[in-house]
Structure 1
Amino acid sequence: MTVESVPSHEVVGVSDELEPQDMNPLQVFGRDLAEIRKARKITMKALGLAVGYSESYVSKVEAGEVKPSSRFVEGRDRVFGTGGMIGRNFQRMVTGVSPTWFAPFLTLEPQATRIRDYSTAFLTGLVQTPAYAEASFRGAHPHEAPDHIAARVEERMRRREILERPSPPLVWLVVHEAALRMIVGSSTVMADQLEYLVTLVEVPDVTLQVYPFQAAVPASGLPFTLLSMGGDTTYHYAESAGRGHIDDATDGVRHWTAVYERLCAEAEPPARSVRLITKIIEEYRT
């Protein structure tokens, strides 16, 4: 096979500014793929032609923005002559701490300048306490080893670091009252979690509204997140059974932005939301 040599100015998908410890598993995998490709002096376009995918798809995989298909991984092993090494690394990544379908979201969230989240049953991981996160993971993975649960919690807590930056993103949370009253772990865990929420809203960059039980039927029965990157780029993220979905299509983002605005309109104002949360904390403490 004849392949096009990679030009010296071609940039690896994952930013050179990121250190390995700051990358999620999908980004590390993509970086490794890019390094192998460049060492073989093959362009993204040529590789895409060789494995039957577009140059854009190759770029997104190497940037850690999409989970590669098994066919794509097998194709790279074949083109690079790596004897199944890429496939084995891919399988190790798939069985890692976070599901691979969640990795693209973990890539985008730290880059966002504005985060709007609607939570229904569980609070978004961005604002969870360690005890709340541990209880939610134990509920979802009852047979998992304690050290693996601890690794999951540690990774989730790293997401909170973006709130501690000198210039954090603007965060707007709409939380259904059901997520505040469903006991995750214990009453103590819930009280501590809600107290953490109250401390968060003392920061000017965080706004919180509670969607109360007595409000109108919500515009969405499912949780979702809008990640704005600055300019005109916004991503809509939602989950289904065992999958995460990211959409940046204009029509889809416009629709979910309108849904979020309706949720905000029906939810309690921030001050009344804090009073409601404080009341629920007192109920948990008694």
Structure 2
Amino acid sequence: MAAELRRLRADAGLSREQVAEQTGVNEGTLYRIETARARPQRRTLIALLDLYSVGEPMRADLIELSRSADGQGWSRPYQWQLPGEYAVYISFEAEARAEHNYESLFIPGLLQTPEYSRAMSQGVLPAATEPEIDERVQARIERQKLLDGPEPLQLWAVVDEAAVRRVVGGRQVMAAQLEHVLAMMKRPNVTVQVIPFDAGAHPGMPGSFIFLEFRDEGDPELVYVDAQAGDMFLESEDDLRRYRTMFDHLRASALSPARSADLIASVKEGRLE
């Protein structure tokens, strides 16, 4: 429902601010509805459908969907431990056709082994309890199932060499992690490139991000930024253009997939010495 309401607003050519002005629906409330963090009240949904000129049968379908929507999905058991924005991101990722992921310090989540994921979570969240760490690791394992199946997610990951060389969880854990990345790179739906240290400064140095493209062409693309100040979803055309261009520059700065595999293999062998 959240995806459909975003699409309807985009088709109407309206910003959230304009919708708030014309319906009286608070802009923050609209954001939570469109990111699946809140279910709209019936009067709110009807006001939106009226503004977007939604007719039957879609109108009845959305009203019924709102009545029955309760956040079902594989991530639901884990959401009590996951940040709200991250849980929302998981629901968006499950709908995606392709994911472009840049990481400056970590191996991408969809390519992490459980051992690496656990060590990374413990390092990043030193105050987290073991049950909280368990929930995060399990959520990541469930996410990785998107890379399997008859229509798997198309993953294109670009990582800084720092992510490959940083020893997370100890030498053996890191060696196994790099071996897993090399194995995943053999899949037709997984592409990994490494930006070497000698490439110098590049557009990804300010931080990591994920660019999602959806199976339904009516769904707008989405950028997810995980930052210390809080996670963000970006969907304006200016932001999408900026991050799309940034990822193109990162791919151009990186080694080819074949040379990236050679670098990862050489680092892995160094871990085993």
Q: TM-score, normalised by structure 2?
A: 0.72
- Taking a change above 3 Å as real, the CA distance of residues 280 and 66 of structure 1, as seen in their structure-2 partners, is same
2:78 touches 2:139 (CA, 8 Å); kept in 1?
A: no
Tell me how far apart the structure 2 counterparts of residues 13 and 202 of structure 1 sit (CA, whole Å).
Answer: 35
Which sections of structure 2, spanning at least 5 residues, go unmatched?
Answer: 5-19, 45-76
What displacement does 1:272 show? 0.6
Verify: 1:149 aligned to 2:136, yes or no.
no
Take 1:115 and 1:145, find their aligned partners in 2: how far apart are those partners?
30
Q: Supply the distance in 1 between the matched residues of 2:212 and 2:123 (Cα, whole angstroms).
A: 28
1:159 to 122, 131, 143: 143
The answer as to 2:231 corresponding to 1:244 is yes
- Structure-2 change in CA distance of 1:95 and 1:111 (3 Å): closer
> Which position in structure 1 is the counterpart of 2:103?
119
- Match for residue 139 of structure 1 among 115, 118, 123: 123
Contact 2:156-2:192 at 8 Å conserved across structures: yes
CA displacement at 1:224 relative to structure 2: 0.9
Provide the C-alpha distance between the structure 1 equivalents of 2:242 and 2:135, rounded to a whole number of angstroms: 36
**Which residue is 1:228 aligned to?**
213
What residue is the counterpart of 2:9 in the other structure?
Answer: none
Cα distance in 2, alignment partners of residues 123 and 53 from structure 1:
40
RMSD: 3.0
Alignment map for 1:90-109 (pairs within 5 Å) = 96-109=80-93
Letter in 1 for 2:239: G
- Contact persistence 2:168–2:174 (CA under 8 A): yes
Give the structure 1 partner of residue 257 of structure 2: 270
Question: In structure 2, what is the equivalent of residue 53 of structure 1?
Answer: 25
Q: How far is 1:53 from its partner?
A: 2.7
- More RCO (CA 8 Å, sep 6+): 2
How far is 1:62 from its partner? 5.1
SS at match of 2:204: coil
Gaps of 5+ in 1: 1-11, 16-47, 77-92
Q: Counterpart amino acid of 1:160?
A: Q
* Secondary structure in 1 matching 2:188: coil
Alignment check: 8 A CA contact 1:14 1:62 kept: no
Rounded Cα–Cα distance in structure 1 between residues aligned with 2:211 and 2:79? 27
Given that residues 216 and 266 in structure 1 are in contact (C-alpha distance below 8 angstroms), is that contact kept between their aligned partners in structure 2? no
Letter in structure 1 aligned against 2:25 = Y
Greater gyration radius: 1
How far does the alpha carbon of each residue in 1:63-109 deviate from its partner, in whole angstroms, 9 at most, with x for none?
6x1546xxx99xx9xxxxxxxxxxxxxxxx99921111212211111
1:97–1:253 CA distance, 2 compared to 1 (3 A)? same
Q: Choose which of 163, 178, 191 in structure 1 pairs with 2:175.
A: 191
What is the CA-CA distance between 1:147 and the residue it aligns to?
A: 2.5
Which one-letter code corresponds to 1:179 in the other structure? A
